[in-house]
Structure 1
Amino acid sequence: MSNSINLTINGIQHIGIPVTNMEASQQFYSRLGFSNVMQAPFTDNGGTGTCVMMRRGTMIMELYQLPEASLAEIRARSNGHVDHVAFDVDNIDLTFKTIKEAGFNILEPEPVFLQFWKNGCKYFNITGPDGERLEFNQVL
Structure 2
Amino acid sequence: MSNAINLKINAIQHIGVPVTNLETSQLFYSRLGFSNVMEAPFTDNGGTGTCVMMQSGNIIMELYQLPDAGLPAIRSRSNGHIDHVAFDVSDIEEAFKEITKAGFNVLEPEPVFLQFWEKGCKYFNITGPDGERLEFNQVL
TM-score, normalisation: structure 1: 0.55
Aligned to 1:49: 49
Aligned to 1:7: 7
- The higher radius of gyration belongs to 2
Distance apart, 1:79 and its partner CA: 9.7
Distance apart, 1:75 and its partner CA: 1.7
Q: Which amino acid aligns with 1:58?
A: N
Distance apart, 1:78 and its partner CA: 7.8
Query: After the TM superposition, which residues 78-93 of structure 1 pair with which residues of structure 2 at under 5 Å, given as runs?
Result: 81-82=81-82
Q: CA–CA distance in 1 between the matches of 2:62 and 2:32?
A: 14
SS at match of 2:25: helix
Q: CA–CA distance in 2 between the matches of 1:56 and 1:78?
A: 29
Aligned to 2:32: 32
Q: Which amino acid aligns with 1:49?
A: G
Sequence identity (%): 79
Q: CA–CA distance in 2 between the matches of 1:22 and 1:50?
A: 8
Distance apart, 1:49 and its partner CA: 0.2
Aligned to 2:61: 61
Q: Which amino acid aligns with 2:31?
A: R
Which structure 2 residue ranges, 5 or more long, are not aligned?
Answer: 86-140
Q: CA–CA distance in 1 between the matches of 2:65 and 2:2?
A: 41
Which structure 1 residue ranges, 5 or more long, are not aligned?
Answer: 86-140
Q: CA–CA distance in 1 between the matches of 2:7 and 2:25?
A: 34
Aligned to 2:91: none
TM-score, normalisation: structure 2: 0.55
SS at match of 1:39: strand
Cα 1:80–1:20 shift into 2, 3 Å: farther
- Number of residues of Structure 1 aligned to a counterpart in Structure 2: 84
